[in-house]
Amino acid sequence: MGRFEGKVAVVTGAGAGIGKACALAIAREGGKVVVADIDGSAATACTAQIAAEAGHALALAINIAEAQAVAALFDAAERHFSAVDLLVNNAGAMHLTPRDRAILDLDLAVWDETMATNLRGTLLCCRRAIPGMIARGGGAIVNMSSCQGLSGDTTLTSYAASKAAMNMLSASLATQYGHAKIRCNAVAPGLIMTERLLAKLDECMQRHLRRHQLLPRVGRPEDVAALVAFLLSDDAAFITGQVVCIDGGMLAHVPTYADGGNSRAAPPSGETAEAAASPRS
């Protein structure tokens, strides 16, 4: 018996990357999965993989920024599988990140569309899932946040703000519906090398980001899926209202770590060990 036998999960943004890994992880432990993605062909491909592994899944093409589409998503899930016990809000407007700049350079249309998908879409899915979970005697929700929502950056203004707000949305949901046995947590990934991210990051940027991790490899979608599966399962029955980082330790250290703040770290290329180990003013 898997941890999700008899459970039905909706996973948004499940056509690729972290969302797909989450859908597969749930299905492999016996859960029935509604694979929702704005890219219908990607959702269908994920569903086919689940079916090939003897799992049960339903593919739906959906834009979660639209309230009617979200209602149709949950109506279809309930018709097909009778109920929804678990929700993973993973869908996000990642296609906008190249245009998501510093505040004075930011196109407000990017801000509005990012908030509509990342934040409003997550809220819409939660609002539609909660009544059924209450009727079923409880449920579990995981919202896909980001380390970008926990620290400032020189760019990605809209994305970071949406993820920071998602953290508080998760805490609010956990507080308001804990009495109904509904748990809600947020997961904040760091550098997770999805196919989409690999296509955007050149080797120089990958090296730069890896320098700031404590672990010597990049994250994989399966790493995040394992955490999500744990938080959805009864193994995490007393965990709610939390933001859990999964970042290889990127946010766990002093800011000067990669430049010698940790004297055990190898000095950056072109810098002497003595200089790397000396304190920064």
Torsion over CA: 61, 65, 66, 67 (sign): positive
At a CB cut-off of 8 Å and minimum separation 6, what does 191 contact? 197, 209, 210, 213, 218, 219, 247, 248, 250
Dist. CA 251–CA 245, nearest whole Å: 8
Dist. CA 14–CA 135, nearest whole Å: 26
Residue of 35, 159, 184, 191 marked catalytic:
159
Contact call for residues 32 and 54 (beta carbons, < 8 A): no
Going from the C-alpha of 29 to that of each of 5, 22, 55, 171, the distances in angstroms are 7, 11, 9, 27
Q: What is the DSSP letter of 192?
A: B
The amino acid present at 72, given as its one-letter code, is A
Dist. CA 24–CA 270, nearest whole Å: 44
At a CB cut-off of 8 Å and minimum separation 6, what does 96 contact? 110, 113, 114, 158, 159
Dist. CA 210–CA 206, nearest whole Å: 6
Dist. CA 232–CA 252, nearest whole Å: 25
Is residue 257 annotated as a catalytic residue, yes or no?
no
Tokens of 200: 């955007």
Residues with a known catalytic role: 159
